[in-house]
Chain A
Amino acid sequence: ETGVTQSPTHLIKTRGQQVTLRCSSQSGHNTVSWYQQALGQGPQFIFQYYREEENGRGNFPPRFSGLQFPNYSSELNVNALELDDSALYLCASSRSGSSDEQYFGPGTRLTVT
Chain B
Amino acid sequence: QKEVEQNSGPLSVPEGAIASLNCTYSDRGSQSFFWYRQYSGKSPELIMFIYSNGDKEDGRFTAQLNKASQYVSLLIRDSQPSDSATYLCAVKGYSNYQLIWGAGTKLIIKP
Tell me the A residues contacting B by CB distance below 8 Å. 2, 33, 40-45, 48, 50, 55-56, 58, 88, 90, 97-107
Which of B34, B43, B101 has the most chain A CB atoms closer than 10 A to its own CB?
A: B43
What's the Cα separation between A2 and B104 when bound, in Å? 21
Residues in B neighbouring A90, C-beta threshold 8 A: 43-44
Distance in angstroms from B97 CB to nearest chain A CB is 4
Q: How large is the interface on B (under 10, 10 to 19, 20 to 34, 35 or more residues)?
A: 20 to 34
Q: Could you tell me if B92 and A43 are in contact, using CB atoms closer than 8 angstroms?
A: no
Task: Check if B49 is an interface residue, CB within 8 A of chain A.
Answer: yes
Which residue from chain A places its CB closest to the CB of B42 in the assembled complex?
A106
Residues in A neighbouring B42, C-beta threshold 8 A: 106-107
Q: Could you tell me if B46 and A101 are in contact, using CB atoms closer than 8 angstroms?
A: yes
Q: Could you tell me if A104 and B98 are in contact, using CB atoms closer than 8 angstroms?
A: no
Q: Could you tell me if A45 and B98 are in contact, using CB atoms closer than 8 angstroms?
A: yes
Q: Could you tell me if B43 and A106 are in contact, using CB atoms closer than 8 angstroms?
A: yes
Residues in A neighbouring B98, C-beta threshold 8 A: 33, 45, 48, 56, 58, 99
Which residue from chain B places its CB closest to the CB of A47 in the assembled complex?
B98
Q: Could you tell me if A99 and B103 are in contact, using CB atoms closer than 8 angstroms?
A: no
Q: Could you tell me if A43 and B44 are in contact, using CB atoms closer than 8 angstroms?
A: yes
Distance in angstroms from A48 CB to nearest chain B CB is 5
Distance in angstroms from B25 CB to nearest chain A CB is 12
Which of A43, A88, A105 has the most chain B CB atoms closer than 10 A to its own CB?
A: A43
Residues in A neighbouring B103, C-beta threshold 8 A: 40-42
23 A–B contact pairs at CB < 8 A?
A40-B103, A42-B88, A42-B101, A42-B104, A43-B44, A43-B99, A43-B101, A45-B99, A56-B96, A56-B97, A56-B98, A88-B43, A99-B92, A99-B96, A99-B97, A99-B99, A102-B99, A104-B43, A104-B44, A104-B45, A104-B46, A107-B42, A107-B43
Distance in angstroms from B10 CB to nearest chain A CB is 12
What's the Cα separation between A43 and B49 when bound, in Å? 17
